[in-house]
């Protein structure tokens, strides 16, 4: 081999080494969240759980039991404090109507939340397509995504929430009298609902009953005065959207008596949890929770004094 040819081979080898990373050359960590939506079918309906993100919450201080008991339950489940807690919303396509249940936090909390609109788009829908928005209760992590800079995020939607909640949270008098730890809930509720109220697009739910074919509102008061759950039914399949009947699955499903500091009326919140958990377990209804680990879907099975949580299997539309 000539010297010139050797040099050419050597140059080619270096060029290859420079441009094709070898196995040891590390790719940067992506550090972006995995896609924040899931998809299941329920009879003729399509359900799209949407993630609003997560928040780290000091559940040992918020849950109304000894901090040590919460710490132990979380540890047993390989979870740490503060607990990274999901916030989920659920989009229901009935074939005739597109209904969103809850809207996440919008801009009210830090950068780990407020991702609902982006995930709605990632799931193949635009906010303009949403016909109805049903709110489980008017806490900021459920209504915060309704408006952005005072404008409606869902310009073509009618917004529904129980009258007991809208009367309570939209009242300046109640805001003035509220305990210090609950005062901060009022302004986000007022700001988020205002553009819909002004446009004549807010319609309070007066009583239990069907809102559109296949979706029924049912009062489940306690967490807030008008906390509402929604039962979705298609061709004999049932999905119960339970909102904030539970915040920490690893504690409150085993032991539904444990309440949380955010409850307006802790005794009533426990009674509602028990009533709807009993019904869902008896009927074998699929359950969807706003703060159960995303996608927040599973079944409740009676066990001892409480229940056991069985997350859904992963499925693809077919
Ligand atoms: Zn919540």
**Spacing, Cα 236 to ligand 1 middle (Å):** 29
**Spacing, Cα 281 to ligand 1 middle (Å):** 22
List of E strands, the chain: 40-42, 45-57, 83-93, 98-101, 132-134, 147-148, 151-152, 158-162, 202-205, 209-212, 215-219, 228-234, 237-241, 286-288, 297-303, 306-311
**For strand 158-162 and strand 132-134, is the pairing parallel, antiparallel, or unpaired?**
parallel
Average pLDDT for 21-33: 80
Q: What is the model's pLDDT at position 35?
A: 86
pLDDT tens readout for residues 298-318: 999 999 999 999 999 999 877
**Spacing, Cα 219 to ligand 1 middle (Å):** 16
pLDDT tops 90 at residue 23: no
pLDDT tops 80 at residue 19: no
Nearest alpha-carbon partner for 160 in 144, 142, 136: 136
**Spacing, Cα 302 to ligand 1 middle (Å):** 24
Supply 243's token pair.
């909102």
Rg (CA), the chain: 24
The mean of the pLDDT values for the chain is 94
Cα dist. 194→143, 150, 184, 187, 188 in Å? 11, 8, 17, 10, 10
pLDDT tens readout for residues 130-160: 999 999 999 999 999 999 999 999 999 999 9
Cα dist. 266→23, 223, 256, 257, 304 in Å? 56, 7, 11, 9, 22
Half-sphere exposure of 239 (CA within 13 A, CB side): 28
In the chain, the N- to C-terminal Cα span, in Å, equals 62
Q: What is the model's pLDDT at position 180?
A: 87
CA trace torsion 306, 54, 260, 142 (10° rounding): -100
Rounded Cα distance between 64 and 255, Å, is 12
pLDDT tens readout for residues 216-241: 999 999 999 999 999 999 999 999 99
CATH 3.40.50.2300 fits 36-311, yes or no: no
Q: Model confidence at 34, in pLDDT bands (50, 70, 90)?
A: confident
Look-up of token digits 């730890």:
181
**Spacing, Cα 4 to ligand 1 middle (Å):** 73
Q: Model confidence at 33, in pLDDT bands (50, 70, 90)?
A: confident
**Spacing, Cα 20 to ligand 1 middle (Å):** 49
Give percent of the chain above pLDDT 70. Answer: 92
Average pLDDT for 243-249: 98
Nearest alpha-carbon partner for 255 in 60, 65, 58, 56: 65
pLDDT tops 60 at residue 12: no
**Spacing, Cα 142 to ligand 1 middle (Å):** 6
**Spacing, Cα 229 to ligand 1 middle (Å):** 13
Q: What is the model's pLDDT at position 182?
A: 87
Average pLDDT for 260-276: 97
pLDDT tops 80 at residue 16: no
**Spacing, Cα 217 to ligand 1 middle (Å):** 18
pLDDT tens readout for residues 83-96: 999 999 999 999 99
pLDDT tops 90 at residue 41: yes
pTM of structure: 0.91
């Amino acid at each position: 081999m000539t010297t010139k040819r050797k040099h050419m081979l050597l140059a080619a080898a270096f060029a290859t080494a420079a441009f094709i990373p070898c196995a040891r050359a590390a790719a940067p960590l992506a550090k972006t969240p995995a896609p924040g939506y899931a998809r299941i079918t329920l009879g003729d309906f399509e359900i799209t759980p949407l993630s609003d993100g997560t928040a780290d919450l000091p559940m040992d201080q918020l849950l109304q039991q000894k901090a040590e008991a919460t710490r132990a339950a979380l540890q047993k489940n390989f979870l740490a404090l503060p607990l990274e807690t999901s916030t989920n919303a659920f989009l229901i396509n009935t074939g005739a109507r597109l209904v969103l249940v809850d809207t996440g936090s919008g801009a009210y909390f830090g950068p780990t939340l407020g991702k609902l609109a982006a995930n709605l788009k990632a799931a193949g829908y635009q906010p303009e397509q949403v016909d109805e928005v049903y709110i489980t209760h008017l806490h900021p992590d459920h209504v915060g995504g309704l408006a952005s800079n005072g404008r409606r995020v869902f310009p073509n939607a009618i917004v529904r929430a129980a009258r007991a909640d809208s009367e309570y949270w939209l009242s300046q008098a109640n805001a003035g009298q509220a305990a210090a730890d609950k005062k901060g809930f009022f302004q986000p509720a007022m700001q988020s609902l205002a553009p819909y109220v002004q446009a004549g697009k807010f319609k309070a739910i007066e009583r239990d009953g069907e809102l559109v074919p296949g979706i029924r509102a049912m009062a489940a008061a306690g967490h807030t005065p008008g906390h509402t759950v929604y039962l979705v039914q298609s061709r004999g399949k049932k999905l119960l959207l339970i909102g904030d009947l539970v915040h920490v699955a690893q504690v409150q499903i085993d032991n539904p008596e444990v309440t949380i500091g955010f409850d307006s009326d802790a005794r009533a919140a426990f009674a509602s949890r028990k009533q709807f958990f009993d019904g869902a377990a008896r009927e074998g209804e699929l359950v969807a929770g706003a703060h159960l680990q995303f996608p927040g879907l599973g079944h409740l099975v009676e066990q001892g004094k409480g229940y056991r949580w069985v997350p859904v299997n992963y499925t693809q539309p077919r």
